[in-house]
Amino acid sequence: MSNEEFNSMTSAETPLIEAINRVYLKFFAGKNQEELKKFYQTDFALYVSRTQRYVDEIRINVEDMAMIKDLLMEYDPCGARLERANKESVRLIRYHYENFFIRIGKTKDLFLILIDHVMQLGIKKSLNMEKLVIDKISPSYPEFKKIWALVKDQIDPIKPYRNHLAHNGSYTHEDMTLLDAYYRYEMPHKNLLEKYRHEFAMGDIQSEVVQAMTDKIGIYLGNLETLQKAIFIFLTHPFMAQLKIMIKKPS
């Protein structure tokens, strides 16, 4: 596959997704409830349905991160005065952004679970699962190390943020502290003009905070789409190989 072909497709258009859809049409469609119930007891059906489930979990997780970006953008005053009545704004901005850090780290775990299942490696989820997967795959698929290096390059930089949240509490930022104080405490002003100037200034600060957060999320979303495509394309051949083995097994 050329770079142009890779860049032009979405993760939903990768050969793995196409293969899963074709399998469903060929083997699952047209069966009645009783037939499906029996069919789902076979290794073949379980393998396909779980592959679909793990792929969906990855895609839903990324879609949720896109939703976080949309939710954060709702707190951009867009040049208007910042109303103090919305006292929960800073707390919700912080909550959504922290959720983003948690979810992006989760993506790598979901990749590992999908890879382990599709390739039938038999590795249980654990703290050293990443090393076990790499060590087991590399001899047969040497190109996997390059793909996984790309995954680590894009996702591992988020670790310090996740560790901070796990061990030191909330996400902190000077502007967030300033905004929090604005919403919590009534500031004395000499006159209405000074009051409005202050509200517009705080609105600019909140707009900059939201913009910085959504810009960062946007970059990661683009990177994650690339990672999904790389992982899904890599797994196409192992997926088809496993199907050929399973379809020959007696039901």
The pTM of this model reads 0.85
pLDDT of residue 60: 93
User: How many CA atoms are closer than 13 Å to the CA of 179, on its beta-carbon side?
Assistant: 30
Q: How far is CA 93 from the centre of its chain?
A: 19
Q: Where are the domains of the chain?
A: 3-247
Instruction: Go through 82-104 and write b for each residue having 16 or more CB atoms within 10 A of its CB, e for each that does not.
Output: beeeeeebbeebbebbbbbbebb
What pLDDT score was predicted for residue 248? 73
Q: Cβ of 234: how many Cβ atoms within 10 Å?
A: 22
Tokens of 251: 């039901």
| Cβ-contact 101, 162 below 8 angstroms | yes
Predicted confidence pLDDT, tens digits, the chain (251 residues): 677 778 788 888 899 999 999 998 988 888 888 888 888 888 898 999 999 999 999 999 999 999 999 999 999 988 888 877 777 888 899 889 888 988 888 899 999 999 999 999 988 877 788 899 988 897 888 889 899 999 999 888 887 777 777 666 666 677 878 888 887 877 788 888 888 888 888 889 889 989 999 998 999 999 999 999 999 999 999 999 999 888 876 55
From first CA to last CA, the distance across the chain in angstroms is 36
201/87 Cα distance (integer angstroms): 17
